[in-house]
Structure 1
């Protein structure tokens, strides 16, 4: 199974995603989702980031260093990056 399908499946545990999405479309959907969560349900967002094991200190640092970008975009990129790390780890140990 290719990495994007695995990534979609992993992210699908937290968000509803269609199976056949490009990486860029996944990113756009995650930016939209985190934007909504920032405005409407920050505790749910924090729970998702905690369960995903997104490094809180790293995320804080990124939010400061990339302050010219929307927060939802920075959070989405870090969330996706963490999920990609999981895919790589699974691939490494499943062969």
Structure 2
């Protein structure tokens, strides 16, 4: 398992206020993590938009990109596209933290 994927999963778990074990089984690849997160995002899109928006705020997902996905992606692709953006953003944070951790 990649340390980056594990770290990414931990950040996502924190930001989405998920039980620690929620994503634990989906850390063997980035694609697997994205698919598991897409399922969670899909549920939140349908049941708890406030919680979803709070998570995106904490993640610092670009608001323009978020709105673009909601308005242009095919309905069955919205959750996976958002999941990919979340994972991409969290991976950026991990790389930046690694780069500057000794400063």
What TM bracket, shorter-length normalisation? 0.7 to 0.9
Runs of 4+ in structure 1 displaced over 6 angstroms? none
1:1-95 aligned at under 5 Å gives the runs: 2-13=3-14, 14=16, 15=18, 16-18=22-24, 21-22=27-28, 23-67=30-74, 70-95=77-102
**TM-score normalised per structure 2:** 0.78
**TM-score normalised per structure 1:** 0.84
Q: Give structure 1 stretches of 5+ with no counterpart.
A: none
Q: CA RMSD in A?
A: 2.1
